[in-house]
Amino acid sequence: MGHTFTAEKPEHADGVERVLARAFGPGRYAKTSERVRERGAVFEPSLTRIAVNDAGDVVGVCRIWRVEAGAPLFFLGPLAVDPSEQAAGVGLALARDSIAACRASVGNGVALVGAERFFRPLGFTVVPNGRLSMPGPVDPTRFLWLELRPGGLDKVQGELRAPKR
Ligand SMILES: CC(C)(COP(=O)(O)OP(=O)(O)OC[C@H]1O[C@@H](n2cnc3c(N)ncnc32)[C@H](O)[C@@H]1OP(=O)(O)O)[C@@H](O)C(=O)NCCC(=O)NCCS
């Protein structure tokens, strides 16, 4: 089945909620990443990517937020694909597209909590010990970042928090 990738619009809200509920189940609000989003991360719908199938249903989402840790930074997540359409390349394509949008908007870097094996092909590496922290517990082997321009991560350090703006 073919997929279209677009920025997130208000009309996608119900479909995104359905995908998140089906992909993550009830544990999703317990994640430390949710604390970052609750504490004033600024949602960026134009950098977020939604996958829509040929029937017009939302089947995937990769959300992008603006945060700060010593310098401005993007925070990626949640990334989810509906279980009925997983393992067909949609997740990787969504992540790649939203990161390309972040790069085009001239950012320093992207941080996330996720599987290193999944995100390594996109250029992500494990955050060096002590450089960044989250407002809650995080598995350090799943705390990843990506530089978007040379030197972009040089001043990035400390806890992910709301952007100063
Ligand atoms: C993780 C998720 C977004 C991947 O989306 P997807 O469309 O199924 O993934 P893709 O088909 O693009 O997979 C790309 C590659 O990543 C691998 N992969 C998929 N899920 C993975 C995971 N959780 N951990 C490690 N690797 C994974 C696939 O095997 C594939 O590699 P291959 O091509 O060498 O086989 C999707 O499975 C999902 O929504 N899972 C539940 C929610 C979740 O755990 N999100 C957190 C993401 S870290």
Q: Which of 50, 44, 46, 48 is nearest to 5 (CA)?
A: 50
- What's the mean pLDDT when you consider all of the chain? 96
In a domain, 164, yes or no: no
In a domain, 110, yes or no: yes
In tens, the pLDDT along 93-109 reads 999 999 999 999 999 99
Total structural domains in the chain? Answer: 1
Domain with 111 in it: 3-159
**For residues 112-137, average pLDDT:** 97
In a domain, 115, yes or no: yes
In tens, the pLDDT along 45-62 reads 999 999 999 999 999 999
pLDDT at 165 over 90: no
In a domain, 165, yes or no: no
Cβ contacts of residue 13 below 8 Å, gap of 6+?
Answer: none
Cα-to-centroid distance, 118 and ligand 1 (Å): 6
Q: Is the CB of 164 under 6 A from ligand 1?
A: no
Cα-to-centroid distance, 87 and ligand 1 (Å): 6
Its pTM stands at 0.95
**For residues 76-104, average pLDDT:** 98
CB 110 within 8 A of CB 147: no
> What per-residue confidence (pLDDT) applies to 158?
97
What's the CATH number where 132 sits?
3.40.630.30
In a domain, 65, yes or no: yes
